[in-house]
Amino acid sequence: MIVYQNITKSFDDCVTHAVNDVSLDVRQGETLVLLGSSGCGKTTLLKLTNRLLDPTSGTVIVDGRDVASQDPIALRRKIGYVFQGIGLFPHMTVEENVAMVLRLQGQSRRERRRRAHELLEIVGLKPDAYGRRFPSELSGGQQQRVGVGRALAADPAYLLMDEPFGALDALTRDTLQQELLALSERLSKTIVFVTHDIFEALTLGDRIAILHAGQLEQVGTKSEVLRSPATPFVRDLFAKPAEQLAAFQEML
Amino acid sequence: MIADVTWTVFLSERMGELWLRTGEHLMLTGVSVGLAILIGIPLGILAAKVRWLRGSVTGGVGIVQTVPSLAMLALLLTLLGKIGTLPAIIALTLYALLPIVRNTLTGLRAVPTAAVEAGRGIGMTPGQRLWLIELPLARPVILAGVRTAAVVCVGIATLSAFIGAGGLGQFINRGLSLSNNRLILLGAVSAAILALLVDGALSALQWGLKRQRSQGRRGRPALDRVLRPLAVAAPVLLVLLGAAAYAATRLNNSVDAWGAGDSQGPTIRIGAKNFTEQFILGELMAQMIESHADCNVDRRFNLGGTMICHRALVSGEIDLYAEYTGTALTVILKEKGLADPDGIHQAVANGYRRQFAAEWLGAFGFNNTYAVTMRRKDAESRNLRSISDLAKHAKDIRAGFTAEFSERPDGYPGLRKAYGLRFGQVLDLDPALMYQAVEKGEVDVICAFATDGRIAAYKLKPLRDDRGFFPPYQAAPVVRRKTLQDHPEIREALHRLAGRLDDTTMQRLNYEVDEKKRAPADVAREFLTQRGLLNPGDQTH
């Protein structure tokens, strides 16, 4: 379980706040989506989880312990992270990328290889065909599969995903979303997923937290946020795409 | 050897030494670039990581780069008080630093932040990020810096011959001193080829380290598997090859090289300044010692001037060299000039005994004074016989002096005072080039050496020193006291040369080398043989 308690983060000595007094729980085994437009503070909140950033005030609790008291290196190794963009290491093969966390943990070359192949199977890449390639030799969707594989390498209980499918075309994104759903059910990970895409949020999220200008507008299940929006912002957020969708359906 | 031997003969005669010098050159470059890598890459990392240090690090190595190479060598010589390999390696290392530091910094700063952030996100320590992500990604840029450094070093290393560190510059220097264009070309062309080889070896390293794109399932071709490690090792192999060439030629003993090499018998190190007469005197002394004393001789010729020879003698890096009384008195002991040749020999001998623990042995016999010299044709047409005559026209006259003459108290500064003259224009000229310059009319007056054979050959006229400004410059061997104590036979061997060379003889020997392009060693041997000075039973050395 991840608990955010009264989190505030400012990058300019409290002139402006990227995250402003946010309190939020992520329950064991659920996928929580942080939804909001760019600049709303969702990526900042994600980075506060594994101490890529430290909060200006407030507490983040992972596994019942305040992260401020945990070694950031050890913390990051037990939390999988999938990066915005892709963030693969361009000078390493797919296998090496996927097994990097295991290498940091000091596992043997043979064990790393075995596990890398296993992980590539999990994310739907044939190890024999892709393991020895470099990231630049893969398509965007394939690269992102490698990114997910890398995050899963140490079999972490938590997975942080920062707009992982943002740069992909609609069809590839859909495929990967479906696979992630299947994956999260099978592996029962606790996932915090950042996106600005409402449909992605509705597809993937067990619960959705809507952020706006650094503040938490509402957190709830799909039906809660759709049926009883807590603020006008939340209502507008879903109303607009619904109108567009209706118009689109009429055209069909 | 006559003046117009063919290039093939010239090359085949020099082949042994060419290998030796190439080996020295490669070792100098290899060691310096190696050191620069060991220092430069950490410095570059520091500059990349610690923002407030960045300015001082890049500024510091940048300033080093702006110091002219010769000045740097001279400076290190003074600071270390040593000639030879050490100051050369320090200077080369300093020059090699800039490209390596700068490229390390640039390379590290150009690493995509996404990759570094990802490393952070999956739990890499700062050290792991540097080692696994940043340095590998910066490697092509860093290697490019190393390549630049290495090529620059091969070039600058030619200058280190100036302070007795050997290398291909030795040919260039000697060629300049003896005005022998072939020697200059031999050194310059070899150095250029070497630079290309070094660059090639490092480019092979770059290729070898680059991870090739796999394109699917094809495994590495077998040839590739052999070639890549070879390419990676290429720079090291090249330096090892140089070391091997050096060692092989040294073992063969086919070259008179400096450095203690022979196992049997003690080694006497003989120095010489950077002009022809000094080479001949050095050879004469060397061959006498080889013939009459049971010693090996290590020839450390072509040291860049009086002060360098003197310091090398005092610090014990050479055992002896030929010095001139007038020079010793005014430049080293800094005393007023004396007119009497015997008195001045006595004075410098006393001074050296007291201050430098060195002995002046019997003078060779000639007086190589400075001679203010002009074209005979001009002197006659303007009716100039003495320096006083010349002083009246000084304003319209272009003088070409050696750098040393321009600064020495017994050179131009003293001359100006003594005769109250001031030439219209003064150019600094290389001692080997000034005779040609005055002959061709590019200057009107030079500070010739009285014993130079080219005075007669070029139809020049030395003007009379009618105010007796120049002290006598009797050349004589100066030897460390310790050396004479350990090897008393050296005193006897050198004493046989005392009084053997008068002005005309020395002029002739100089002429043989300067104009007929004969090797100083051959000219010296011929002279010693003709005069029966060599030990007849002992010609095999």
Helix axes B222-252, B7-49, angle to 10 degrees: 120
Of A73, A91, A129, the CB nearest to B123: A73
Give A93's contacts in chain B (Cβ within 8 Å).
214
CATH architecture of B370-462: 3-Layer(aba) Sandwich (3.40)
Q: What is the pLDDT of residue B419?
A: 92
Residue A250 counted as domain residue: no
Are domains B267-367+473-530 and B370-462 of this chain identical in fold?
Answer: yes
Q: How many CB atoms lie within 10 A of CB A179?
A: 15
Q: Do A100 and B216 touch (CB under 8 A)?
A: no
Q: Tell me if chain A has a CB within 8 Å of the CB of B137.
A: yes
In tens digits, chain B (541 residues) has pLDDT values of: 444 567 888 888 788 888 889 998 999 999 999 999 999 999 999 999 998 999 899 899 888 888 888 788 878 877 887 777 888 999 999 999 999 999 999 999 999 999 999 999 999 999 999 999 999 999 999 999 999 999 999 999 998 887 778 889 988 888 877 777 888 999 999 999 999 999 999 999 988 888 765 544 455 567 777 888 888 888 888 888 888 888 877 766 544 444 434 445 688 999 999 888 999 999 999 999 998 888 889 888 888 778 889 988 998 889 999 999 999 998 899 887 667 888 899 999 999 999 999 999 999 999 999 999 999 999 999 999 999 999 988 888 999 998 888 888 888 998 998 998 889 888 888 877 888 899 988 899 999 999 998 898 899 999 999 988 998 899 999 999 999 999 999 999 999 999 999 999 999 999 999 888 888 999 999 999 999 988 765 544 4
pLDDT at residue number B536: 67
Q: Which residues contact B129 (CB under 8 A, 6 or more apart)?
A: B116, B119, B120
- The reply to whether A47 and A35 lie within a common domain is yes
CB B121 within 8 A of CB B57: no
Looking at domain B17-212+220-252, its CATH architecture is Orthogonal Bundle (1.10)
CA distance A4 to A55: 10
The CA distance from B3 to B142, in Å, is 49
The reply to whether residue A76 touches residue B215, judged by beta carbons under 8 angstroms, is no
Tokens at B134, concatenated: 């940043």
Q: Is residue A59 part of a domain?
A: yes
Within 8 A of B217 by CB-CB distance, chain A residues are 128-129, 132
Query: What average pLDDT score do residues A36-56 get?
Result: 93
Residues of chain A positioned with their CB less than 8 A from the CB of B114: 83, 85-87
Predicted local distance difference test score (pLDDT) of residue A14 = 82
Residue appearing with tokens 């990967």: A176
Residue B127 near chain A (CB below 8 Å)? no
Higher pLDDT, A47 or B15: A47
* Amino acid B337: pLDDT: 65
Q: Which amino acid is at A168?
A: L
Residue A143, in any domain of the structure: yes
DSSP for A20-31, please give it: EEEEEEE-TT-E
Residues B322 and B272 sit within 8 Å (Cβ to Cβ): yes
In a shared domain, residues A93 and A25: no
Residue A120 lies in domain: 88-156
CA distances from B210 to A15, A199, B110, B137, B439 (A): 48, 43, 18, 11, 59
The per-residue pLDDT for B4 is 56
Q: Which of A86, A104, A136 sits opposite B123 (nearest CB)?
A: A104
Tokens of B172: 């260039």
Integer-rounded Cα Rg, in Å, for chain A is 19
Whether residue A60 is found in the same domain as residue A176: yes
Sign of CA dihedral B425, B431, B435, B437: negative
Distance CA A168, CA B278 (A): 80
Local confidence band at A143 (pLDDT 50, 70, 90 cut-offs)? very high
Task: Find tokens 């470099």 and name the residue.
Answer: A134
How far is A99 from chain B, CA to nearest CA, in Å?
Answer: 11
Could you give the strand order of the β-sheet that contains B320-324, starting from the edge strand earlier in sequence? B296-303, B267-273, B320-324, B475-480, B358-360
Going by C-alpha positions, the residue among A98, A100, A144, A91 that lies closest to residue B213 is A91
The answer to whether residue B213 neighbours chain A at the CB level (below 8 Å) is yes
Tell me what pLDDT residue B219 has.
Answer: 52
Rg from Cα positions in chain B: 28
pLDDT value at residue B341? 80
B114 → chain A, closest CA residue: A87
A76 with B217: Cβ contact below 8 A: no
Residue B204 has, within 13 A of its CA and on its CB side, a CA count of 19
Longest CA–CA separation in chain B, Å = 93
Q: Is residue A192 part of a domain?
A: yes
DSSP class of residue A50? T
Question: What pLDDT is recorded for position B213?
Answer: 59
- pTM exceeds cut of 0.80: no
- Say how far apart CA B361 and CA B340 lie, in whole Å: 17
Distances (CA, A) of B186 to B22, B100, B168: 11, 30, 8
Q: Which of B123, B132, B213 sits opposite A134 (nearest CB)?
A: B213
Instruction: Please give, rounded to a whole number of angstroms, the shortest distance from the CA of A50 to a CA of chain B.
Output: 8
CATH class for the region spanning B267-367+473-530: alpha beta
pLDDT of residue B289: 93
pLDDT at residue B271, as a whole number: 93
* pLDDT at residue B227, rounded to an integer: 85
